[in-house]
Amino acid sequence: MQVFGKVALNDETHIHRNNNFHTFPAAVLVLFRSATGEAWQEIMLSCSDRDEVKCDPASDDYKQNPDAKCGVDFAYPYFISFFMLCSFL
């Protein structure tokens, strides 16, 4: 939640109003969805450091620079290892 919570909601990506890391219950639901294998690659790409991934308007990073990207490269190892570990449980 701390790492991906600043990613802006976008209906064109897999981080939208029903699928996000802004609150703890929503983050648990996204991780459960990823653990079951449902579109975990798209969720990973929606949290990664790409030009399409913008900051949430309520975040401090957006207030300092509205064009800032809030995705992180840590999304790749995190989601891949999370999916692999969950698939063996």
The Cα 22–Cα 89 span in angstroms is 27
The answer as to whether 61 is a domain residue is yes
For residue 2, tell me if it sits in a domain.
no
Question: Tens digits of per-residue pLDDT, 12-55?
Answer: 899 999 999 999 999 999 999 999 999 999 999 999 998 888 88
Q: How many CB atoms lie within 10 A of CB 28?
A: 12
Looking at residue 68, what is its pLDDT?
A: 79
Residue 9 in any domain: the answer is: no
Query: Which domain, by its residues, includes 32?
Result: 24-87
In a 13 Å sphere around the CA of 17, the CA atoms on its Cβ side amount to: 1
Which position has the token pair 């840590």?
74
Beta-strand (E) ranges in 1-83?
none
Q: What is the number of structural domains in the chain? A: 1
Residue 65 within any structural domain of the chain: yes
* Higher-pLDDT residue of 46, 65: 46
Per-residue pLDDT, averaged over 61-84, amounts to: 88
* pLDDT (0 to 100) of residue 29: 95
- Answer whether residue 53 is part of any domain: yes
CA within 13 Å, CB half, 80:
7
Average pLDDT, whole number, for the chain?
90
